Structure 1
Amino acid sequence: MASSQARTIHCKIGPSILNSNLASLGDECHRMMEEGADYLHLDVMDGHFVPAITFGHQMVQSLRKALPKSKCWFDMHMMVQDPDRFIKDMADAGADQYVFHVEATQDVDKTIRKVKEAGMKVGVAIKPKTPVEVVLPYVEHVDLVLVMTVEPGAGGQKFMDDMMPKVKTLRKRFAELDIEVDGGVSPDTIHHCAEAGANLIVSGTAVVKSESPRDVMVKMREAVRVQIPNWKNISS
């Protein structure tokens, strides 16, 4: 992990804004923060690493003007090939955290270093078919690890419970690590994530499309909070 100091693990909920009404994205981002989101999860797709294309740094720059850094943390999930080429633009646009896939770069250590040099927090992500062992050498150098619980690139997929052993392995070996999960996470599946040791919870449809996003986020946050004392007993 990036810091060697002892720290307390907290649960944070980050709505995936790609599930919002894109015609009024700025308003939707404000709404999520007012409803109690801890951060916003922004999915960037380039049409190469995944088939879909979403938005680039210009959109992030526009959202940052509407949501100053003091009011909102932008967690960039970079589903892009060769993530190095986007680092400077995203940093200049106001991104706070840059999470890239280990499968998308030839030199993970170099990409980590470049993200840090650009002034952003850095995370590494793994797809469902990537063994958790691939990411272990980098954990001490990053701020978080993202375990995908669906195949990246499309919303509305079913949560993959069989990804939880990866989370358990990370939590058992790195007690203070921020572990993020993304894909199909809802009040119906949050207990799997909480028991495994995930503390950064990305949720799209379940939060954004809910009649009461606040209630959904409170419920998921509490589900993780009550499990935190049990994590020291996790076995992979």
Structure 2
Amino acid sequence: MIAPSILAADFARLAEAADAVKGADWLHVDVMDGHFVPNLTLGLPVVKAILASTDIPVDCHLMIDDPDRWALGYAEAGAHNVTVHAEAAADPVKLAHDIRAAGAKAGLSIKPRTPFEPYVELLSHYDTLLVMSVEPGFGGQEFIPEVLDKVRKARRLVDAGELTVIVEIDGGINSDTIEQAAEAGVDCFVAGSAVYGAADPAKAIEALRDQARVSTGKAR
């Protein structure tokens, strides 16, 4: 699965940016509050406008403080997947149940320096594990390969039937890094500059997907 990150698009033309990636599996939308991360992007009103302009399932990544208070609104608005940060959620089990009850899939994200093991039991309540491969806050950063150890651990648990999450990765994914991420066991790849920085975003998605498929076949 390829999820283009609209963070790398022209914010003045978000509807056009969504239309340019029609072949995408999900459309990744980063919500940042300027507190949990040192950047401010967009919020629920803009997400609602994006939802109204595309048929692509919208993958909302909430890089915000107090997601227990705010996440439900994104699920109720029609987001396909709503991801909150393990480092910010006060009651992640209840939050996952509330997001699911509102009709969305629930995702749990961990930052590069956050260990995976403390959250394994929590993941039984979630549909998606989003492993950050850059420090959250800004696009265009360099991929941190050390996070792939967390991906491998999650993949082993999924393959063993102990977890049922989609393993997603976000940060620095491009033609140079997607193969090693696929080999580690990633299911869904968030790609920003690699898609929206290309002359033809739709072709860039297909090229990334082809690379991931080949690498996944080698690894499994």
State whether TM-score is above 0.5. Answer: yes
- The equivalent residue for 2:44 is 57
Matches within 5 A, 1:21-100: 21-33=10-22, 36-67=23-54, 71-100=55-84
- Report the 3-state secondary structure (helix = DSSP H, G, I; strand = E; otherwise coil) of the residue aligned with 2:152: helix
Structure 2 unmatched ranges of 5 or more? none
Counterpart among 181, 184, 199 of residue 196 in structure 1: 184
- The equivalent residue for 1:107 is 91
- Whole-angstrom CA distance in 1 between matches of 2:218 and 2:66: 38
The amino acid of 1:196's aligned partner reads: A
Q: 1:123·1:143 contact (CA, 8 Å) conserved in 2?
A: yes
- The equivalent residue for 1:124 is 108
Question: What's the Cα RMSD here?
Answer: 1.4
- Whole-angstrom CA distance in 1 between matches of 2:75 and 2:89: 18
Which deviations, in whole Å up to 9, do the C-alpha atoms of 1:192-225 show, x marking residues without a partner?
A: 1011000100000011110122332222212222
- The equivalent residue for 2:151 is 167
The amino acid of 2:7's aligned partner reads: L
The amino acid of 2:9's aligned partner reads: S
Is 1:154 the equivalent of 2:138? yes
- The equivalent residue for 1:218 is 206
Counterpart among 166, 169, 178 of residue 166 in structure 2: 178
- Report the 3-state secondary structure (helix = DSSP H, G, I; strand = E; otherwise coil) of the residue aligned with 1:165: helix
- When residues 177 and 112 of structure 1 are mapped into structure 2, their CA distance, relative to the original with a 3 A threshold, is closer
- Report the 3-state secondary structure (helix = DSSP H, G, I; strand = E; otherwise coil) of the residue aligned with 1:123: strand
Shift of 1:135: 2.1
- The equivalent residue for 2:129 is 145
- The equivalent residue for 1:7 is none
Shift of 1:189: 0.7
Shift of 1:104: 0.3
Q: 1:87·1:118 contact (CA, 8 Å) conserved in 2?
A: no
Q: Percent same amino acid among aligned pairs?
A: 39
Q: 2:68·2:90 contact (CA, 8 Å) conserved in 1?
A: no
Which deviations, in whole Å up to 9, do the C-alpha atoms of 1:49-98 show, x marking residues without a partner?
A: 1111111110111122222xxx2100000001110211232123221211
Which deviations, in whole Å up to 9, do the C-alpha atoms of 1:86-118 show, x marking residues without a partner?
A: 123212322121100000012211211111122
Counterpart among 11, 16, 41 of residue 5 in structure 2: 16
Q: 1:149·1:159 contact (CA, 8 Å) conserved in 2?
A: yes
Shift of 1:229: 4.3
The amino acid of 1:167's aligned partner reads: V
TM-score (norm 1): 0.87
- The equivalent residue for 1:9 is none
Moved more, 88-97 or 112-121: 88-97
Q: 1:187·1:216 contact (CA, 8 Å) conserved in 2?
A: no
